[in-house]
Amino acid sequence: MQKRKLGNSDLEVSAMGLGCMGMSFSYGPPKDKKEMTSLLRAAVDRGVTFFDTAEVYGPYINEELVGEALADLPEHLVIATKFGFDLSGSDNRPCAAGLNSRPEHIKEAVESSLKRLKVGVIDLLYQHRVDPKVPIEDVAGAVKELIQQGKVKHFGLSEAGAQTIRRAHAVQPVTALQSEYSLWWRRPEAEILPLLEELGIGFVPYSPLGKGFLTGKIDETATFTNSDFRSTLPRFAPEALKANQALIDLLGTIAEKKKATSAQIALAWLLAQKPWIVPIPGTTKLNRLEENLGAVSVELTADDLAGIESAASKIAVQGDRYPEKLEKMTGL
C-alpha cells in the first residue's frame, strides 16, 4: 500500500483510509460485530493504516468496535475520531441533541473516546462540526492543551469554512480537514483546497463515492429504509438519481478503458487531485474493500484527467446533498 502524508505534518497514513461509520450507523441497523471485526482486520492485512470513526457513530458503538478490533494489532495504525455533538439527551441522536464544542465538553469527550478506542493517545482528533456558539479559538486552544498533555497527537476540523480553518490554525496547527469531496460534490475546489495548500493542511474526503452512488450500483429504482440516512437526502430522490446517471456513464466509460470499476475511477480521480488527499471510503463488505483499495493502483494520465474534467463540466448534478437543516451545519 502506498503512503501519503497529511499536509506538512509528520502524520503518514495509507493512501486509502477506511471510513468505519457505516458499520454501526447511518446506513441501516448496525452490522454484525464479528463480521465487522474481521473486515477491519482484513483492511490492516491489506495495508490500510488509517481508520476513521467518531463518538456520535452509534453513538459510541463504532468507537468500541474499532477499539476492540484493532487493540491487539502490532502495526502502527492511525485512528481518527471526532467530538462536537451533545449526546446527553435520552435518545442520543445528534440532530436532536445539537452541537457542543465547549472546552470542558471536548476534554470529557476525549477521555471517553480514549477508553472506547483502548488507546493512550488519539492520533487525529477532529471537531465534527463547527459550533457557532463557541469561538473556534477556544476549541483549538482546548485541543492544544490535550496535545500538550499527550492525549492527542493531531488536530483536525470537519466541514469547516475557510475563515474558521485559518483562525483555528493560528492557535493550533490543523493537520487535516475532513469534508465531503467527490466528482458529484466539488465545492471544496473553489476556496478550501487552495487554502489547505497554502497552510499545508491535509485533506480527507468523506463520501468519496457519493454515499454509494458513484459505484454505479444505484439508480432511480433504488429504495432506502427509514434507518438509512440516504432516505432523507434530496440527492437520493428518484428524479435526482435518474438525472445524475450521466456522471455514472462518464465513470463507466473511463473504467472500461482502464479495465477498472466506476468506483475505482472515482477514487483514483480524487487521489490524482493532490498528493496530500487521502480518501476514506466506507464499506461493510470485503469485496468492496478490495475494490476500493485497488484504486490506488489505477493511473490516470493528464489526458485522462482532462477528459474527465471536460465531460464532467457539462453535467449539472441535480439535488441538494443535505436537507437544509444539515447543510446549515457545514462550511461555517
Does residue 114 form part of some domain? yes
What letter does residue 152 receive in the DSSP assignment? E
| Residues 175-191 pLDDT 10s | 999 999 999 999 999 99
Dist. CA 193–CA 189, nearest whole Å: 5
Its domain, for residue 126, covers 3-211+271-298
| Residues 93-110 pLDDT 10s | 555 458 999 999 999 999
Judge whether residue 329 has pLDDT over 70. yes
Would you place residue 90 in the very low, low, confident or very high pLDDT band (cuts 50, 70, 90)?
Answer: very low
- C-alpha 220 chain-centroid distance: 25
> Among residues 27, 57, 60, 126, which one is catalytic?
57
| Residues 118-167 pLDDT 10s | 999 999 999 999 999 999 999 999 999 999 999 999 999 999 999 999 99
Residue 316: other Cβ atoms inside 10 A: 8
Query: What's the domain count of the chain?
Result: 1
The set of cell numbers assigned to 291 is 475494490
**Average pLDDT over the chain, rounded to an integer:** 95
**What are the two backbone dihedrals, phi and then psi, of residue 203, each rounded to the nearest 5 degrees?**
-125, 130
- Report in angstroms the alpha-carbon separations of 130 from 51, 105, 106, 195: 22, 14, 13, 18
| Residues 25-74 pLDDT 10s | 999 899 999 999 999 999 999 999 999 999 999 999 999 999 999 998 87
Does residue 201 form part of some domain? yes
Does residue 123 form part of some domain? yes
Q: Which burial class, exposed, middle or buried, applies to 104 when counting CB atoms under 10 A from its CB (0-12, 13-18, 19+)?
A: exposed
What letter does residue 211 receive in the DSSP assignment? G
| Residues 272-296 pLDDT 10s | 999 999 999 999 999 999 999 999 9
CATH number for 183:
3.20.20.100
Residues 135, 150, 17: CA angle, nearest 5 degrees: 80
Does residue 11 form part of some domain? yes
Active site residue 126: no
